[in-house]
């Protein structure tokens, strides 16, 4: 093999490996950021950990209160998502006439990926609350 061919192969494979690593790291970064978005399902557990009840009686009273509000937070989260989806659909309708096919496809792809990430976030298995 000629030195020029070897150099080209090394450079090409280096670029390919770099692109693959970049794509993997970007995917990991996005999933990691989504993991930190609080979910209403974990509201009670997070509050309980932060408050650190002094005894079992306080823990029981605290859980009763937090569970009542957790249901309302879940309803707010669902309403927020529906409103956000409606709003983003309106944005896409308005953007459609001014974007090229490729630009619109990129926007749609991003919206679809975000929706998939949010669905996965909701489908994650529940982890039991400690102390129950």
pLDDT in tens, 77-98: 889 888 988 998 899 999 999 9
Task: Tell me if residue 2 falls in helix, strand or coil.
Answer: coil
User: For position 34, what pLDDT does the model report?
Assistant: 59
User: Are residues 27 and 49 part of one domain?
Assistant: no
C-alpha–C-alpha distance, residues 86 and 129, integer Å? 34
What is the pTM assigned to this prediction? 0.48
Domain interval for residue 31: 1-36
Total domain count, the chain: 2
Write the CB contacts of 43 (distance below 8 Å, at least 6 apart in sequence).
Answer: 66, 69, 70, 73
Q: How confident is the model at residue 24 (pLDDT cuts 50, 70, 90)?
A: confident
User: Are residues 32 and 77 part of one domain?
Assistant: no
Q: How confident is the model at residue 45 (pLDDT cuts 50, 70, 90)?
A: confident
User: Are residues 95 and 44 part of one domain?
Assistant: yes
User: Are residues 74 and 30 part of one domain?
Assistant: no
Task: Tell me if residue 68 falls in helix, strand or coil.
Answer: helix
Find the helix packing angle between 56-95 and 43-51, rounded to 10°. 130
User: For position 132, what pLDDT does the model report?
Assistant: 42
Q: Is the CB of residue 117 less than 8 Å from the CB of residue 31?
A: yes
């Amino acid at each position: 093999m000629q030195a020029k061919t070897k150099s080209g192969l090394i450079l090409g494979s280096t670029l390919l490996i770099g692109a693959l690593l970049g794509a993997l790291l970007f995917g990991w970064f996005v999933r990691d950021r989504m993991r930190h978005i609080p979910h209403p399902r974990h509201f009670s557990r997070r509050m309980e950990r932060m408050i650190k009840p002094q005894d079992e009686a306080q823990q029981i009273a605290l859980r009763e209160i937090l569970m009542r509000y957790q249901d309302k937070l879940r309803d707010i989260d669902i309403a927020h998502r529906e409103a956000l989806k409606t709003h983003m659909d309106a944005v896409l309708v308005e953007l459609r006439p001014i974007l090229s096919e490729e630009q619109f496809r990129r926007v749609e792809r991003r919206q679809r990926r975000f929706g998939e990430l949010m669905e996965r976030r909701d489908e994650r298995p529940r982890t039991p609350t400690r102390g129950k």
